[in-house]
Structure formats: structure tokens, C-alpha cells
Amino acid sequence: VDFWADVEEAPRDPILGVTEKFLADPNPNKINLGVGAYRDDDGNPVVLDCVREAEKRIMGSKFMEYLPMGGFKEFCDHSLKLAYGETNPLVTGNKIAAVQSLSGTGSCRLMADFMHKFKPGAKVYITVPTWSNHHNIWGDARVEKETFRYYKPETRGLDFDGMMEDIAAAEGGSFFLLHACAHNPTGVDPTADQWREISKLMREKGHFPFFDMAYQGFASGDCVRDAQAIEIFLSDGHMVGCSQSYAKNMGLYGQRIGCFSLTCNNEQEKIAVESQMKRIARATYSNPPLHGALLVSTVLGDPELKALWYKEVKGMADRIISMRTALRNNLESISGDSWQHVTDQIGMFCFSGMTSEHVDALYEKSIYMTSNGRISMAGVTTKNVETLAKAMHEVTS
Ligand code: PLP
């Protein structure tokens, strides 16, 4: 007997194809703009100094036992302060249910499973476009998905009117999956005023905002500013949920460390909600990994290391922001056209507006990115930015 004869090969992840092409290219000056991880100005991966110091401090730690189902309590407490603010009454009043998660992906999956279990039939609204895994996560958790307008190709900016219309048209009590900052893949975020309007409308309609915050601090360089959307929604009286990830902002990609949280109306509700989050975790992976939780708690729990982390995350954000300026300036001086969207957008990615034909033409020049024209700004350096700008101009003009 053959149990798996009917299993068809899954569609390939688009990013894998880009990486394979890049690796197979013998050109020593090839440029990889597909990668979703930070690189320094020499194109190398980075381990933050605050993390190196935390590693030293936890080295030889005697504790290698299982964490509880909800993870390391101290880690969750630090994470909530970071996302919601140290003095937020929800934080100080113990009204936020939270568990340590397997990074941002794991938080999103816990949310999707939680929705499926406790709000059956509710729909999740997802931006067009979005990080492609959002579709996999909520789809696999069997939550009904809808989309809402977000990006306007003509302006390469936010489709604010379309977004507001879709929020207004959605059935009351729907769930909206919002990118807290540094929208992936477009790099387009609402302004603070636009967030205020979105929040008001969503409150009127009784929708639930769930914030995927995979880039706190990494977008603007300021952790407080990058969490402003959450603050705005909370001040309008929303109940909110949040997925935090320390992959990008602390460079802990492979440690799979994040936090999943839902605000509650009182402490009793918090206890019940958290117990059900743990129940889902128990059946899925039992308990989360230890190392990343110790690292993050060590960094956030020591004022000096925390200050160092703030400086380092700002350093990463600033390098990316300066590469946006350099790319725009190079493109504009070569082409004479406006490339303002390159600097208007924020975060790891630039949605360049190039088509898949343009991207194919760039492969011929040993420059690699996903076919939707998304440039990982982390791959741009002072050494390759001019070459990149010339190539982009050549294929688009
Ligand atoms: N959400 C968004 C919008 C992302 O861009 C990413 C990573 O690319 C994630 C979540 C999850 O990343 P991780 O699971 O590595 O924290």
C-alpha cells in the first residue's frame, strides 16, 4: 500500500526561487535583494552587541528545563511594556492575556487558532497585498478570509479611501489584521491622523484590530513611535490583539521568540483568555523555546542593555533609511524622474513599482528580488546602491 500517493507537491515559496537563482549565479558582484533579514553595509548578517552581552550573562545557566506552556513570565511582562507602554493601565492593571510565542508567525497562528475556537464564523480581513504567510496561517486555521484595499499602485502609497470604504462595508464585529508599522511588502503605513480615522471607524463598526508588529523600532528607529497605532486604538477604547516578534528588531530570527497578547476587560477575563491561549499552545508545541526568552529578558530587564538595544535598533533603522535616500538620489539623478516613494515608504521593504518583466531583466544583471518588485532595503549598501540604481533605470526606462 502507498499512503501518500495522492499527495501533490505544495506550491513553492516565491522567496526560495529567488534565493536559488542568487546562489547559482557565479557573478562575484551579484546583489541579493530578496532576503528578509538585516545586513550591514558589507552585506553581512549582524548579531547585536546587546545580544552578545546577554549571551555571556546567560551562558552556563543551570536552567534547561521546560518553560511553562505560556513561556517565560518575565519575558511576557517585558514584551507587554514594550508594545503597550510601561505605564499603560492595561499593563499595570494586569488586564492583558499574553503568552510567549514562536516569533511573529507563531503569534499569528495562535491568534488564528484562538479566533477559530472562540469566535467561530468571524472573518479576518487582510490587506491587499500582504506578507504571503498571513494567507497560509489564517487559511490553515480555517478562519474565513476576506481582503480589504490598502495599497494604491498609481500613487505607490496608501489607498486610504478604498480602505475606509472596505472597513465601513465589512460586517460589524469583523477582525482586521493590521501591520502595526513597516507594512510588508509595501513599506506604506498610514499617518498618525489616518490611523485615528481608521480607529474611529472601526470602533463605530465594532471591528477588532489585530496588530502584527514584526518591526517595532526597526521602522523609524523609535520603539514608541512604531507602536503609535496601538496607542491610538487603545485611546479610542478598542480591545486589541498584538503579535510581537524579536526576529528583526533584536536580530533573533532563528531563536523564534515573540509574544502573543489580547487585551481584556478585567483580570478575571484575562485569566480565562490566557488559560485558553496556553491550552492551544499545549496541543501545538507544548511549550516554547527557552534561549530567546532568556536573551530578550536579559536585554529588556537591564537598563544599560536596554539602552544599548535602543541605540542598536536605531542604527539598523537609520542605515536602511539612509539607503532609501541614496537609492532615490541615485535614481533621480540618472533618470530625472521622481522616485519619491522610495523614501516615503518605511521599514525593511521598498515596493518599487517594478513589474515582473522588469525583475526578470534585473536577473540578467545579477540583481535578485521577488517578482512583485519588492526590494529588501537590507540588501542595499553604499557599495552597490549606484549599480542598483543604474540597473533599475535601465530596465524601467
Ligand atoms: N509578520 C510580518 C508582516 C512579517 O514581515 C514577518 C516576517 O517577515 C513576520 C510576521 C514573522 O516573522 P517571524 O515569524 O520570523 O517573527
pLDDT in tens, 274-317: 999 999 999 999 999 999 999 999 999 999 999 999 999 999 99
Residue 266 is classified by DSSP as S
Quote the CA–CA distance of 225 and 255 in Å, as a whole number. 26
Q: Ligand 1 center to residue 123 CA distance, Å? A: 21
Indicate whether residue 104 lines ligand 1 (CB < 6 A).
Answer: yes
pLDDT at 15: 80
State the average pLDDT for the chain: 96
pLDDT at 107: 98
pTM for the model stands at 0.96
pLDDT at 386: 97
Amino acid letter, residue 213: M
Per-residue pLDDT reduced to its tens digit, 37-61? 999 999 999 999 999 999 999 998 7
Across the range 325-345, mean pLDDT stands at: 95
The residues assigned a catalytic role are 131, 212, 248
Per-residue pLDDT reduced to its tens digit, 5-35? 999 999 888 788 898 999 999 999 999 999 8
Indicate whether residue 38 lines ligand 1 (CB < 6 A).
Answer: no
Place of cell 499595570: 92
Q: How confident is the model at residue 273 (pLDDT cuts 50, 70, 90)?
A: very high
Indicate whether residue 129 lines ligand 1 (CB < 6 A).
Answer: no
CB within 8 Å of 100: residues ≥ 6 apart? 67, 70, 71, 72, 75, 76, 257, 258, 259, 288, 293
Q: Which atom of ligand 1 is nearest to the CA of 245?
A: 16
Per-residue pLDDT reduced to its tens digit, 73-95? 999 999 999 999 999 999 999 99
Q: Ligand 1 center to residue 105 CA distance, Å? A: 6
Give phi and psi for 145, each to the nearest 5.
Answer: -105, 140
Indicate whether residue 366 lines ligand 1 (CB < 6 A).
Answer: no
Residue with CA closest to ligand 1 atom 7: 214
- Distances in Å between the Cα of 331 and the Cα atoms of 176, 352, 355, 382 are 36, 12, 17, 14
